[in-house]
Amino acid sequence: MRGLSWKGAILWGLLMVPAVVVANTDDMSADERAEKLAEQQKNQTQTRTEGLSGEAASIVERLATDDWQAINDVVEDLEALAAPETLPVLQALSDRRLYFDERGRVLIEDPATGEYSDALTGETAEVSPENLSQPTLTNAIRRGIRPLIGQLQLFSDDVATRRAGAEELADRPRPEMLGRLQELRAEESNPEVLRLLNIAIARLQLDASDPEERLEAVEVIAEVRSARMKSELETLMETDAQGDPVEPDAAVREAARDALEVIEARQRTARFLGDLVYGLSMGSVLLLAALGLAIIFGLMRVINMAHGELLMIGAYTTFMVQNLFAVMAPQWFSFYLLAAIPAAFVVTALVGILMERGVIRFLYARPLETLLATWGISLILMQTTRVIFGAQNVRVASPEWFSGSVQLMQGVSLSTSRVGVIAFAFFVVALVWFVMNRTRLGLEVRAVMQNREMAAALGVSANRVDMWTFGAGAGVAGLGGVALSQIVNVGPELGQNYIVDSFMVVVLGGVGNILGSVFSALGLGVFSKFLEPVAGAVLAKILLFVAIIVFIQWRPQGIFALKGRAGDDD
């Protein structure tokens, strides 16, 4: 047994060289570009007009001025005109991306490319940035622009844009828009936009002098069960300084009370569901972190303390793939995550195989020594990463399709990455299940783990199977790393935070039982999510550990006991 461990370290280093070269030669710009690309794809605003003409053009032209009063007039005119094609101009004005040059051209900056386009023609314009000035804006003007943008967005054909507009108006409607909102409501077909419009209208009608109208507003609110109107309803129920109710009409007060009840009930359900899904997603993260361990520890009884570092390597591989994409194929940037999945699997599997061949295979009969040796490996991997990438966290940007949020139901929305992690966890579990139960490799693995001698007698090379099993377990840990890179900070110590948790999942689920790990991970996630508000995050975690320790007293084999003589002591 020659010391292959240092060879392992060197090879790992070599593996990373091409990626590091890319990372270091172009370090800042690769990083920045990744950030910008993600930003641009996230931001759905149009960055240029399609050309303006007639009255719109003549009003927009007048923006080329330093005089804030003139600008105020322009905004008022645009409001009166209410032309959807001026939307990019207003957005640029609001985001401070609108410029004019010495020739009086009005220009819009594209934040992603840094290009400028002429607001009137919509064409890219050659400009020298030193000649550009920005129109002067007061905060009051800016505040006025936002509902205007919202209103104009409502005319769009694109549902997402209409929804963004309605969202703005539902929060800050302007009384003078009431009539137009009602018209739009009559034409709207998308239920979500309709709902937001209703809220905006109801909000305005609550101030109406006619009690009938106010009653109608309250009823609309009750119907859409909007939590954001809760404080308005509560105001209706209050009494003023003289002890008189704020709302003079008893019927309206009655309706408001009912509406409040409905809303609160809905909020409770929403919170419960939200917690549940959030807990499931925390559980999925745990599961992804622990699954590799469940294979290595569960099937091979190898205590791999370097498991956390395999996660870390998976996450760093994702980082490298991201940088490679940003530099070499920016047009495909948003798909880097898909490419990172196989890459992380292969890289970590290779590291795992090196570990197994170099160190672990000499220690199969001595589990406690394996624990120490793999801990040593983990220190080396961690320090290697630190030397190559530095001790700080690196930036892994989520691609656009992975960074929004998903509305599960009204009032329950989760970030896409959280939901994506749940899906990814199921994908990985299914993959592992498939490999274990439907492939020759899986068959051989199960055979060797159950009875080495017998399997060897049947011509299965146990030695080789060990190597592949360890490699596969490590690869799955790498997949976990890909998922983690999207949710937590990626740094050299990433793995350390997950090693204890991962072991708890496996021990709780029953060693050697992958399905058990699935249930224990999801269970732990949900359990701790529900425990957190009661006990606080840290205490919840401590309680969980104590609970697991106690649980293991009661059922040392875990939730799902492995049957047979495997648990025997001699």
337 to each of 224, 332, 401, 417, 473, how far by Cα in Å?
38, 10, 10, 12, 21
By CB under 6 A, is residue 570 in contact with ligand ADP? no
Of the candidates 3, 54, 175, 191, which one interacts with other proteins according to CB under 8 A?
A: 3
By CB under 6 A, is residue 2 in contact with ligand ADP? no
Q: Which amino acid is at 98?
A: L
Specify the residue, 126 or 568, whose C-beta has the smaller distance to ligand ADP.
568
By CB under 8 A, is residue 554 in contact with other proteins? yes
The H or E element that residue 116 is part of is strand 116-118
Q: Which of residues 537-566 bind ligand ADP (CB under 6 A)?
A: 564-565
Residue partners of 386: CB distance under 8 A and separation at least 6? 492
> Which is nearest to 174 in space by CA: 303, 41, 75, 91?
75
Pair type for strands 98-100 and 106-109: antiparallel
Specify the residue, 155 or 362, whose C-beta has the smaller distance to other proteins.
362
- Specify whether the backbone of 564 is left (phi greater than 0), alpha (psi in -120 to 50) or beta: left
> Pattern 343-362, binding to other proteins, x per CB under 8 A?
----------------x--x
By CB under 8 A, is residue 569 in contact with other proteins? yes
Tokens of 136: 């002067």
Q: Cβ distance 337 to 420 under 8 Å? A: no
Specify the residue, 327 or 562, whose C-beta has the smaller distance to ligand ADP.
562
Q: Which amino acid is at 548?
A: I
| Half-sphere CA count of 161, side-chain side, radius 13 A | 16
366 binds, among other proteins, ligand ADP, none (CB under 5 to 8 A by kind): other proteins
Specify the residue, 17 or 549, whose C-beta has the smaller distance to other proteins.
549
Of the candidates 380, 408, 443, 559, which one interacts with other proteins according to CB under 8 A?
A: 380
Kindly state the smallest distance separating residue 569's Cβ from other proteins, in Å: 5
Give dist(CA 435, CA 480) in Å, integer: 17
Specify the residue, 536 or 567, whose C-beta has the smaller distance to ligand ADP.
567
Q: Cβ distance 170 to 183 under 8 Å? A: no
Size of the site for ligand ADP (CB under 6 A): 2
Specify the residue, 274 or 523, whose C-beta has the smaller distance to other proteins.
523
Other beta carbons within 10 Å of 511: 22
- Show the DSSP H helices in 301-366 as ranges: 307-328, 336-358
Our separate counts of H helices and E strands in the chain read 22, 6
Eight-state DSSP code of residue 562: P
By CB under 6 A, is residue 243 in contact with ligand ADP? no
Q: Which of residues 385-414 bind other proteins (CB under 8 A)?
A: 386-387
Specify the residue, 194 or 380, whose C-beta has the smaller distance to other proteins.
380
Quick one: how far is CA 238 from the chain centroid?
40
Kindly state the smallest distance separating residue 563's Cβ from ligand ADP, in Å: 7
Specify the residue, 126 or 569, whose C-beta has the smaller distance to ligand ADP.
569
By CB under 8 A, is residue 363 in contact with other proteins? yes
Extended strands (E) in 42-112 = 98-100, 106-109
Other beta carbons within 10 Å of 91: 21
Specify the residue, 130 or 569, whose C-beta has the smaller distance to ligand ADP.
569
- Which range touches other proteins (CB under 8 A), out of 243-251, 319-327, 446-454, 548-556? 548-556
By CB under 8 A, is residue 367 in contact with other proteins? yes
- Which range touches other proteins (CB under 8 A), out of 5-13, 93-101, 335-343, 481-489? 5-13
By CB under 6 A, is residue 440 in contact with ligand ADP? no
Give dist(CA 117, CA 242) in Å, integer: 60
By CB under 8 A, is residue 6 in contact with other proteins? yes
Give dist(CA 135, CA 266) in Å, integer: 46
By CB under 6 A, is residue 3 in contact with ligand ADP? no
| Half-sphere CA count of 235, side-chain side, radius 13 A | 9
> Which is nearest to 127 in space by CA: 146, 114, 137?
114
By CB under 6 A, is residue 569 in contact with ligand ADP? no
Kindly state the smallest distance separating residue 452's Cβ from other proteins, in Å: 17
By CB under 8 A, is residue 237 in contact with other proteins? no
Of the candidates 68, 375, 402, 433, which one interacts with other proteins according to CB under 8 A?
A: 375
Q: Which amino acid is at 48?
A: R
Specify the residue, 60 or 290, whose C-beta has the smaller distance to other proteins.
290
- Specify whether the backbone of 510 is left (phi greater than 0), alpha (psi in -120 to 50) or beta: left
Of the candidates 25, 182, 383, 437, which one interacts with other proteins according to CB under 8 A?
A: 383
By CB under 8 A, is residue 368 in contact with other proteins? yes
By CB under 8 A, is residue 303 in contact with other proteins? yes
Give dist(CA 476, CA 345) in Å, integer: 6
Interacting residues with other proteins (CB under 8 A): 1, 3, 5-6, 9, 301, 303, 305, 359, 362-363, 366-373, 375-380, 382-383, 386-387, 496, 499-500, 503-504, 507, 538-539, 541-542, 545-546, 548-550, 552-554, 556, 563-564, 569-570
Contacting residues toward ligand ADP, per CB under 6 A: 564-565
